[in-house]
């Protein structure tokens, strides 16, 4: 008996150890009861792990677009039905077609019965075109080959894709909006062009055809013939684009030649620019989506074959000009038949840009700049900036040489050749010299040095300096000379601005260096130099050097000579015409530094009202109001004091008073750059219509590269711009063109 009890106890303990549960059998000590105990049934080994963990990992991989990671979590029997390549392609196709930018998963519930489980979750696709798409999924899992795995079919991508269905997306693309001047006249717009082409072997009357085409294309017969000269007799060869209006006007003249060398005309939608491209450096251009940005645009809902902004305001305003894409996301069957529509979103109308430019004034400024440079014996390039002093609104901005923005139209006949010619032009016509051209500032920078001198506490406007025509505080080997032989005599610091005395400002730079070599550079930065202003198109920050910069970039310490050179805007100093204009704005309006802007307002569209672009204040000049008035009076004398003003002789007879500063920036071994920056009117002015203007309205900066003295070259152009803006006639001819 005792042996039986011991044996049953051992069996009991063994079963408990194996199954970790108590058998529903009572053990008794007598033999009869013991023989009545049934044979125990062992339960299967329990399934380890949590199927929910596998499900969550599957969905986390989907949220990360890790399709191979998802595939690795499929059950063996599912992996046997679809290989990894096909699995990845199926998900990638669905995500790409729907333009899914993010997948969000919310777990809901989990159910397990033995070796099978089910995990429910809410899956949301965030798409770039048709909004969010949400579906509840029931993810089946099975325990097989010692692990849990997902039992997969296509409905787990989207329930509607079961049975081999596919997604299809039809885009609804809004028309690209226009760019206007401040008065609503188009500067860039969507329009149609008619492409004319010839088949040389079919030409019957070449002389007559060329004579008919010449006024249409604006080219001589010889120029037109040269265009199709490379073509073989049976080739179609495009020879030029014309507007629909031009085509209609000459249709009767061209009609006899269609089919007799002149091929049927082809009309296409494209981006057109006013007057062949007013303000091309500002407006910019469009083109196909660059390959390196294809992914970015796809994520934003673009189909991929659209025309987008690539430069200028066309690029800056892309989010407004291209509107918001809409589309229809559908499910189609294996044979292409429509199964159902999943989502439909209407496109949002694009918003036009209204610039701060006046089209006629902008064009007149461009023509004035081109005329000045083309007639001057030395000038080859330059720029002009005109800005409202009370808001920072750019009224005109011109850069020469310029370019025709249609050269970026890849379909335009000969566009590639014309673009190549511009890209290879050593004069760099694509460079916007007004915002990206960097130059030594020359004497225009003396206004910064004057301010730093006053702020140092060592100078006042009446501090005196004896100008002898030379300056030798750096030693006899480094003597510097003034622009006027014999100097300017005993003058005040204020007068030194009027007569542009170099030696006086050399001396200020020398003295400031002894106090703090960072004082002058820091003052320049407070004026806005050495940094971009935030204009909507590309600009260069220029360069305001200091001791730290020189050690890091030149490998040498800062010397007194560096401070002396900086004091007259030379040495390493580099500024843009826009930066000089921004300085003149603040001087003219009493010290407020505005962020310049090219945008006046955004057009109404898609339920959004017309939106005016606000003026933005960047800060104030680091100078007292009293000291600023002294600068203003000195700038007035520069342009009006016939005895001492360096540019006064250029403004004789102008009925409106201006103020400004000349600058002649050395650029060895070439001829100096010519600067003139200022504002108008500098005194109350009554227009011919009786309107009284009591305060300055516009700041103007003219910079002509390697052309000579600022007073001789830039000042007369400044005068012309004032005459154009205020419609003053007759207009003074350029001195070099008389």
Dump the DSSP string for 519-588: HHHHHHHHTTTTS----SS-----B---HHHHHHHTSS---HHHHHHHHTT-TT-BB-HHHHHHHHHHHH
Using the predicted structure, report yes or no on whether residue 73 has a pLDDT greater than 60.
yes
Average pLDDT over every residue of 194-201: 92
Three-state secondary structure of 589-640 = HCCEEECCECEEEECCECCECCEECCCCEEEECCCCHHHHHHHHHHHHHHHH
Which domains, and CATH codes, for the chain? 2-35 (no CATH), 51-168 (3.10.450.100), 190-276 (3.30.1390), 442-599+613-620 (3.40.710.10)
What is each CA distance from 51 to 135, 150, 214, 333, in whole angstroms?
21, 9, 79, 33
Nearest 5°: the CA angle 646, 647, 652 is 135
pLDDT band at 244 (very low <50, low <70, confident <90, very high): confident
Give the Cα separation of 84 and 264 in Å (integer): 52
- Asked whether the beta carbons of 411 and 267 are under 8 A apart, the reply is no
Give the Cα separation of 481 and 394 in Å (integer): 38
Residue with tokens 């260096």: 513
Give the Cα separation of 691 and 696 in Å (integer): 14
- Asked whether the beta carbons of 433 and 399 are under 8 A apart, the reply is yes
Closest CA to 617 of 598, 597, 600, 592: 592
Give the Cα separation of 433 and 200 in Å (integer): 43
- Asked whether the beta carbons of 268 and 291 are under 8 A apart, the reply is no
Instruction: Tell me what pLDDT residue 381 has.
Output: 98
pLDDT band at 454 (very low <50, low <70, confident <90, very high): very high
Q: Give me the sign of the Cα torsion angle 703, 707, 713, 717.
A: negative
Using the predicted structure, report yes or no on whether residue 245 has a pLDDT greater than 90.
no
Instruction: Tell me what pLDDT residue 439 has.
Output: 98
Residue with tokens 């005329």: 371
Give the Cα separation of 640 and 634 in Å (integer): 10
Residue with tokens 């003052």: 523
pLDDT band at 357 (very low <50, low <70, confident <90, very high): very high
Residue/partner pairs of 620-624 with CB below 8 Å, 24 or more apart:
620/586, 620/591, 620/592, 620/593, 621/451, 621/526, 621/527, 621/586, 621/587, 621/591, 621/593, 622/451, 622/455, 622/523, 622/526, 622/527, 623/451, 623/454, 623/455, 623/591, 624/454
Portion of the chain with pLDDT greater than 70, in percent: 93
Residues 6+ apart with CB under 8 A from 153: 78, 162
Using the predicted structure, report yes or no on whether residue 406 has a pLDDT greater than 90.
no
Give the Cα separation of 589 and 691 in Å (integer): 20
Using the predicted structure, report yes or no on whether residue 27 has a pLDDT greater than 70.
no
- Asked whether the beta carbons of 313 and 284 are under 8 A apart, the reply is yes
Closest CA to 289 of 301, 280, 281, 279: 301
- Asked whether the beta carbons of 392 and 597 are under 8 A apart, the reply is yes
pLDDT in tens, 460-515: 999 999 999 999 999 988 999 999 999 999 999 999 999 999 999 999 999 999 99
What is each CA distance from 284 to 271, 513, 534, 578, in whole angstroms?
11, 44, 17, 18
* Cβ count within 10 A of residue 19: 14
φ, ψ dihedrals at 572, nearest 5°: -90, 0
Average per-residue pLDDT for the chain: 91
At 639, list the tokens: 């342009």
Inter-helix orientation angle 446-455/577-589, to 10°: 50
Side-chain half-sphere CA neighbours of 551 within 13 A:
5
Residue with tokens 């760019």: 179
pLDDT in tens, 271-289: 889 877 899 999 999 988 9
pLDDT band at 688 (very low <50, low <70, confident <90, very high): confident
Instruction: Tell me what pLDDT residue 410 has.
Output: 79
Using the predicted structure, report yes or no on whether residue 12 has a pLDDT greater than 70.
no
Instruction: Tell me what pLDDT residue 38 has.
Output: 52
More confident residue, 130 or 245: 130
pLDDT band at 44 (very low <50, low <70, confident <90, very high): low
H and E: helices and strands count for the chain: 25, 29
- Asked whether the beta carbons of 409 and 240 are under 8 A apart, the reply is no
* Cβ count within 10 A of residue 158: 19
Q: Compute and round to an integer the Cα radius of gyration of the chain.
A: 39
pLDDT band at 738 (very low <50, low <70, confident <90, very high): confident
- Asked whether the beta carbons of 433 and 577 are under 8 A apart, the reply is yes
Give the Cα separation of 20 and 42 in Å (integer): 11
Lowest mean pLDDT, pick from 154-158, 228-232, 531-535: 228-232
Give the Cα separation of 196 and 246 in Å (integer): 12
Average pLDDT over every residue of 671-685: 97
Give the Cα separation of 294 and 283 in Å (integer): 23
* Cβ count within 10 A of residue 237: 16
Give the Cα separation of 648 and 640 in Å (integer): 5
Instruction: Tell me what pLDDT residue 32 has.
Output: 38
DSSP-assigned letters across all residues of 364-378: HHHHHHHHHHHHSSS
Residue with tokens 């610039």: 355
Portion of the chain with pLDDT greater than 90, in percent: 81
Using the predicted structure, report yes or no on whether residue 26 has a pLDDT greater than 60.
no
Closest CA to 734 of 370, 366, 358, 381: 370
**Chain centroid to CA 580: how far?**
22
């Amino acid at each position: 008996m005792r042996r039986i009890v011991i044996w049953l106890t051992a069996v009991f303990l063994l079963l408990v150890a194996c199954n970790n549960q108590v058998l529903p059998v009572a053990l008794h000590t007598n033999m009869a009861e013991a023989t009545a105990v049934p044979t125990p049934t062992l339960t299967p080994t329990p399934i380890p792990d949590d199927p929910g963990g596998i499900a969550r990992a599957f969905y986390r991989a989907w949220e990360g677009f890790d399709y191979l990671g998802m595939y690795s979590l499929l059950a063996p029997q599912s992996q046997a039905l679809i290989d990894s390549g096909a699995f990845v392609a199926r998900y990638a196709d669905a995500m790409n077609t729907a333009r899914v930018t993010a997948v969000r998963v919310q777990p809901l519930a989990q159910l397990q019965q033995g070796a099978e489980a089910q995990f429910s979750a809410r899956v949301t696709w965030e798409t770039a075109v048709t909004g969010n798409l949400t579906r509840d999924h029931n993810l089946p899992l099975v325990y097989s080959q010692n692990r849990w795995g997902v039992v997969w079919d296509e409905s787990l991508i989207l329930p509607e894709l079961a049975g081999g269905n596919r997604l299809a997306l039809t885009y609804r693309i809004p028309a690209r909006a226009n760019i206007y001047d401040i008065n609503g006249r188009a500067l860039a717009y969507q329009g149609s062009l008619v492409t004319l082409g010839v088949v040389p072997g079919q030409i019957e009357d070449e002389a007559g055809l060329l004579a008919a085409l010449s006024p249409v294309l604006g080219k001589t017969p010889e120029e037109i013939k040269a265009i199709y000269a490379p073509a073989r007799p049976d080739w179609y060869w495009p020879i030029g684009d014309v507007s629909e209006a031009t085509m209609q006007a000459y249709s009767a003249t061209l009609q006899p030649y269609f089919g007799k060398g002149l091929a049927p005309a082809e009309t296409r939608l494209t981006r057109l620019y006013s007057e062949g491209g007013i303000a091309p450096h500002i407006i910019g251009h469009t083109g196909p989506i660059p390959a390196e940005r294809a992914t970015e645009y796809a994520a934003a809902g673009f189909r991929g074959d659209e025309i987008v902004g690539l430069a200028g305001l066309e690029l800056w305003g892309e989010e407004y000009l291209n509107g918001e894409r809409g589309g229809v996301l559908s499910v189609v069957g294996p044979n292409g038949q429509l199964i159902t529509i999943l989502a439909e979103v209407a496109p949002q109308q694009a918003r036009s840009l209204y610039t701060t430019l006046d089209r006629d004034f902008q064009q007149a400024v461009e023509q004035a700049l081109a005329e000045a440079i083309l007639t001057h014996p030395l000038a080859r390039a330059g720029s002009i900036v005109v800005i409202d002093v009370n808001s920072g609104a750019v009224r005109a901005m011109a850069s020469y040489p310029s370019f025709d923005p249609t050269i970026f139209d890849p379909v335009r006949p000969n566009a590639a050749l014309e673009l190549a010619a511009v890209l290879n032009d050593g004069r760099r016509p694509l460079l916007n010299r007004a915002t990206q051209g960097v130059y030594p500032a020359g004497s225009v920078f003396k206004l910064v040095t004057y301010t730093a001198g006053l702020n140092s506490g060592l100078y006042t406007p009446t501090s005196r300096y004896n100008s002898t025509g030379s300056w030798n505080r750096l030693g006899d080997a480094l003597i510097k000379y003034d622009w006027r032989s014999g100097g300017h005599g005993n003058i005040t610091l204020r007068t030194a601005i009027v007569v542009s005395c170099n030696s006086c400002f050399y001396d200020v730079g020398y003295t400031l260096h002894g106090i703090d070599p960072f004082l002058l550079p820091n003052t320049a930065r407070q004026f806005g130099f050495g940094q971009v202003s935030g204009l909507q198109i590309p600009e260069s920050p220029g360069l305001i050097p200091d001791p730290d910069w020189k050690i890091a970039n030149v490998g040498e310490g800062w010397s007194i000579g560096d401070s002396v050179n900086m004091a007259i805007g030379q040495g390493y100093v580099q500024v843009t015409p826009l930066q000089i204009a921004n300085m003149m704005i603040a001087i003219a309006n009493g010290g407020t530094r505005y962020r310049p802007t090219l945008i006046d307002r955004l057009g109404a569209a898609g339920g959004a009202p017309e939106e005016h672009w606000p003026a933005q204040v960047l800060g104030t000049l680091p100078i007292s109001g009293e000291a600023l008035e002294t600068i203003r009076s000195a700038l007035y004398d520069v342009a009006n004091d016939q005895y001492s003003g360096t540019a006064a002789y250029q403004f004789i007879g102008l009925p409106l008073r201006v103020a400004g500063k000349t600058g002649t920036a050395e650029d060895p071994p070439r001829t100096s750059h010519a600067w003139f920056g200022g504002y108008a009117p500098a005194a109350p002015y009554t227009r011919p219509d009786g309107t009284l203007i009591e305060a300055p309205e516009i700041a103007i900066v003219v910079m002509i590269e390697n052309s000579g003295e600022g007073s001789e070259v830039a000042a007369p152009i400044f005068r012309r711009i004032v005459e154009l803006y205020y419609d003053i006639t007759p207009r003074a001819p350029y001195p070099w063109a008389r």
